Amino acid sequence: MPRLVIVSNRVSLPSDRKPKSGGLAVALQEALKGEALWFGWSGQVSDEVQNKALIETRKNLVFATLDLKPEEHRRHYQGFANSCMFPLLLYRPDLMIFRRDDLQGYLSVCGRFVEALAPLLKDDDLVWVHDNHLLAVGRTLRAAKSARRYGFFLHIPFPPYPVFTVLPCAKSIVGDLLAYDVIGFQTELDRENFLGTASFLFDIERLSDTEIRHKAQRIQVLVQPVGIDAKGFARAAERAVNGDMARRLKDSLAGRKLIIAAERLDYSKGLALRFSAFARFLDRNPQFRQKVSFLQVAARSREDVAEYQRLKREMDGIVGDINGRHAEYDWVPIRYITRSVARGVLAGLFRSAAVGLVTPLRDGLNLVCKEYVAAQDAADPGVLILSRFAGAADTMTDALIVNPHDPDGVAEAINKAMTMPLEERAERWGRLFEVVRTQSAALWCRTFVDAIAGKT
């Protein structure tokens, strides 16, 4: 079996006390069972010029990372990746800030990273690049060594072509994507949007539902949503629900029902509308006043990007306002935490919650909704409320599907979830758990690794 080389901006280093790679490390678990090299940014910013990657080895795995220089961090990470590409891909061209200097910064980071990666590669390695940060790496590596096979997976959405082509360098980004042998998306909509954009910008021949030809190259364009290990997460939740944090939470609830939401503090997550929906739920259903607590974990993220600073100030204000209006001397409706909470602890909190509220305005897939379902007690499961704009809504149809732009509709769904009889909760949960179990992280890894290896 050839070695797998994973390229992503964040790398989950074994020496990291707090992994920085989000859901990627979890999703990649299956792929990391074999021999693999994981290459990317160290998460550090330093003035020292590094031409060689820093190597850490753990058994079958090699981790190779590079620091970013301050200018690269500003132009590439804060600028092109998070102020231009991220809002654009999340259907927010209004928030997109395009600067030619940032584009240049992105290209030069991709170039420097390729120079450091190329000497580490073996001839038959399979290279799998993730997300938009280092997207150009595939084309540059291929130019150097064309025999190897290259795959790419986009964890976040791909918008329709009138949105994507707002980007002044849209054609070169799509050209970079077309340099891969396999391009993967979370949903059919993302694939169709990409193909629509690629056909608009290039001469593309569609050979089948999953294959296109561009120039002489055949490219597989696949849809397979990322997943979790449902049974493993369920076991973690069973353990954690008896742990210190979950016990403290339970004691503090004093018999009240818990609604939970957890994500990065990001404008795509729809927090303001969610808070407003919860406030309406309280206004319309006074019988639930003091009978329910809403725990929002919103881990601060990208704090050096202006839009995220603005968002943090706005959310602090909204939560303060709602709590100020509704709180009693012995009850605060919204508990708001802007630190990250360890996944193992979250598992227990999810299991303690009667309602999981997952209402992003747009999301590639959303693993939190899968984790909420996996964490539930089969004998008394909670109810998932899920935005129709999360990629997961395509398959998790037994959730209460809502439009997050309609706070009244979300408030109604909260009421429905809070009053849903056990029989209906159990039926919905059983079907949802089956989706989470079968659409697993392992299946996602196998699908792409086999495709990149040319087996499918």
Candidates 20-28, 61-69, 188-196, 248-256; binding stretch for ligand F6P (CB under 6 A): 20-28
Determine if residue 30 is left, alpha or beta; phi over 0 gives left, psi from -120 to 50 gives alpha, anything else beta.
Answer: alpha
> Measured from the CB of residue 395, what is the shortest distance to ligand F6P in angstroms?
19
Q: Nearer Cβ to ligand F6P, position 226 or 273?
A: 226
**How buried is residue 35: exposed, middle or buried, by Cβ count under 10 Å (0-12/13-18/19+)?**
middle
Q: Which amino acid, residue 237?
A: A
- Integer Cα distance of 59 and 367 in angstroms: 28
Map residues 139-158 to x or -, x wherever contact with ligand F6P holds by CB under 6 A.
Answer: ----------------xx--
* Cα angle 403-269-74, degrees, rounded to a multiple of 5: 145
> Measured from the CB of residue 89, what is the shortest distance to ligand F6P in angstroms?
9
| Side-chain-side CA neighbours of residue 416 (13 Å) | 16
> Could you tell me the two tokens for 176?
């970079």
Q: Nearer Cβ to ligand F6P, position 226 or 295?
A: 226
| Backbone dihedral angles phi then psi of residue 181, each to the nearest 5 degrees | -80, -30
What are the CA-CA distances from residue 18 to residues 221, 259, 261 (Å)? 34, 26, 21
> Measured from the CB of residue 207, what is the shortest distance to ligand F6P in angstroms?
30
Q: Is 263 in the site for ligand F6P (CB under 6 A)?
A: no
Q: Nearer Cβ to ligand F6P, position 258 or 271?
A: 271
Q: Is 88 in the site for ligand F6P (CB under 6 A)?
A: no
Q: Which of 133, 155, 190, 398 is catalytic?
A: 155
Q: Nearer Cβ to ligand F6P, position 22 or 407?
A: 22
> Measured from the CB of residue 328, what is the shortest distance to ligand F6P in angstroms?
37
Q: How many CB atoms lie within 10 A of CB 252?
A: 11
Q: What residue is closest to ligand F6P based on CB?
A: 22
Among residues 69, 302, 351, 425, the one that binds ligand F6P under rule CB under 6 A:
302
- Integer Cα distance of 188 and 191 in angstroms: 5
Q: Nearer Cβ to ligand F6P, position 155 or 370?
A: 155
> Could you tell me the two tokens for 379?
């004998």
Q: Nearer Cβ to ligand F6P, position 22 or 227?
A: 22
Q: Is 76 in the site for ligand F6P (CB under 6 A)?
A: no
- Integer Cα distance of 325 and 107 in angstroms: 49
> Measured from the CB of residue 450, what is the shortest distance to ligand F6P in angstroms?
22
Is residue 326 annotated as part of the catalytic site, yes or no?
no
Q: Is 73 in the site for ligand F6P (CB under 6 A)?
A: no
Q: Which letter does DSSP use for residue 333 in this model?
A: S
Q: Is 230 in the site for ligand F6P (CB under 6 A)?
A: no
Q: Which amino acid, residue 271?
A: L
> Measured from the CB of residue 264, what is the shortest distance to ligand F6P in angstroms?
6
Q: Is 269 in the site for ligand F6P (CB under 6 A)?
A: no
- Which ranges in 118-228 belong to alpha helices (H)? 137-144, 161-164, 170-177, 188-201
Is residue 214 annotated as part of the catalytic site, yes or no?
no
Tell me the number of residues near ligand F6P by CB under 6 A: 11
> Could you tell me the two tokens for 134?
């280092």
Among residues 22, 93, 157, 360, the one that binds ligand F6P under rule CB under 6 A:
22
Tokens 């590439």 correspond to 76
Q: Is 270 in the site for ligand F6P (CB under 6 A)?
A: no
Contact 189, 181 (CB under 8 A): no
Q: Is 382 in the site for ligand F6P (CB under 6 A)?
A: no
Residue from 167, 157, 154, 163 nearest 221 by CA: 154
Q: Is 75 in the site for ligand F6P (CB under 6 A)?
A: no
Q: Is 370 in the site for ligand F6P (CB under 6 A)?
A: no
Among residues 72, 131, 229, 398, the one that binds ligand F6P under rule CB under 6 A:
131
Q: Is 87 in the site for ligand F6P (CB under 6 A)?
A: no
> Measured from the CB of residue 433, what is the shortest distance to ligand F6P in angstroms?
24
Among residues 4, 5, 6, 10, the one that binds ligand F6P under rule CB under 6 A:
10
What are the CA-CA distances from residue 379 to residues 372, 375, 382, 426 (Å)? 15, 12, 10, 7
- Scored b (16 or more CB within 10 A) or e, 330-357 reads eebbbbbebebeebebbbbbbbbbbbbb
Q: Is 301 in the site for ligand F6P (CB under 6 A)?
A: yes
> Measured from the CB of residue 418, what is the shortest distance to ligand F6P in angstroms?
30
The footprint of ligand F6P (CB under 6 A) covers 9-10, 22-24, 82, 131, 155-156, 301-302
Active site residues: 155, 363
